[in-house]
Structure 1
Amino acid sequence: MASAGDSQLFEEAFTITTFDQSKYDRVARIGGTSADSQTVMTLDINTELYPCSVGETLHCVLASSLNLDGTKDDGRGWRDVARSGPGGETSLADMFEYVCHGKIYKFEDGEDGQTIKAYISFGGLLMALEGPYKKLTPLHVDYVYLLCKK
């Protein structure tokens, strides 16, 4: 039987270091650095749904499934699971405040040869992660969920 850890491809806490809302009304491009300073994140976030600011810590997870047992999703989205109402099945999304579904679509080698950069699109809201190969190795071109909480 799979465990939730099997579906979690990446997990990190980032301190928000930049916040740019100059291009769109409800979207900001935030930048963050991991606690160990090895991983850098850039993320477009809907500030109307999830307001945040410089200095806050954002705990982010990339997962291949929202099922708590780590099994593949059965085609239902996380909203369908949430609509099942009280007493319905719980999912990984219940533990987070901001959830997106998207696709990892590109990788680039870092300029120093020791890092890799992964690009993910969540319906036009983009994310870039740059860090050591070891941390980002579980990522591959596929659909993923982004889950965030403060």
Structure 2
Amino acid sequence: MASTGDSQLFDETFTITTLDHSKYDRVGRIGATSTDSQTVMTLDINSDLYPCAIGETIHCVLATSLALDGSKDDGRGWRDIGRSGHGGEATLADMFDYVCHGKIYKFEDGEDGQTIKAYVSFGGLLMALEGPYKKLTPLRVDYVYLLVKK
């Protein structure tokens, strides 16, 4: 059995530095910097479901599974994986306020040669992460869950 740590590829706390609602009514593009200032994130977020403000701190996790033991989702739809309030078993999603499933579709080397940039699409809501190779190399998988909480 795998541990939760095996399924969690990225775990970081960010402070929101920019917020742009100019393109869409219910989607905001946030810019955020990690607490250690090594990683920069741009994320499109459904602001009706999860309103954010400049200066807020958010905790973000990218994981390959929602199962608490890190086991694979076995081809079930991500919405079918049990909800503790609905008779299913508890999942990682129960500990977060905003959850998406998406595909990592592109990697680029940073301009300085020390960083990497990863791009993820969550059904058209995009995420870009730029940071040290060591932190972002685990993201070399196809599909991930984004979990966010304040």
Over the residues paired in the alignment, what is the CA RMSD in angstroms? 1.3
Output the CA distance in 2 between the equivalents of 1:62 and 1:84: 21
| 1:137 partner SS | helix
% same residue? 83
Paired AA for residue 99 in structure 2: V
Output the CA distance in 1 between the equivalents of 2:5 and 2:83: 25
Question: Contact 1:12 / 1:59 at 8 angstroms: preserved in 2?
Answer: yes
Q: Where in structure 2 are there 5+ consecutive unaligned residues?
A: none
Output the CA distance in 1 between the equivalents of 2:52 and 2:77: 25
Aligned length: 150
Quote the residue 2:143 is aligned against.
143
Q: Under a length normalisation based on structure 2, what TM-score does the superposition of the two structures give?
A: 0.96
Question: Contact 1:60 / 1:147 at 8 angstroms: preserved in 2?
Answer: yes
How far does the alpha carbon of each residue in 1:3-26 deviate from its partner, in whole angstroms, 9 at most, with x for none? 111000000000000000000000
Is 1:42 the counterpart of 2:42 in the alignment?
Answer: yes
Output the CA distance in 2 between the equivalents of 1:86 and 1:111: 47
| CA-CA distance at 1:85 after TM superposition | 4.5
Question: Contact 2:39 / 2:132 at 8 angstroms: preserved in 1?
Answer: yes
| CA-CA distance at 1:75 after TM superposition | 2.0
Divergent runs of 4+, >6 A: none
Output the CA distance in 2 between the equivalents of 1:24 and 1:118: 23
1:1-150 equivalence runs, <5 A: 1-82=1-82, 85-150=85-150
How far does the alpha carbon of each residue in 1:83-122 deviate from its partner, in whole angstroms, 9 at most, with x for none? 5744420100000000000000000000111000000000
Paired AA for residue 64 in structure 1: T
| 2:138 partner SS | coil
Q: Under a length normalisation based on structure 1, what TM-score does the superposition of the two structures give?
A: 0.96
How far does the alpha carbon of each residue in 1:41-71 deviate from its partner, in whole angstroms, 9 at most, with x for none? 0000000000010000010000000011101
| CA-CA distance at 1:82 after TM superposition | 4.1
Paired AA for residue 146 in structure 1: L
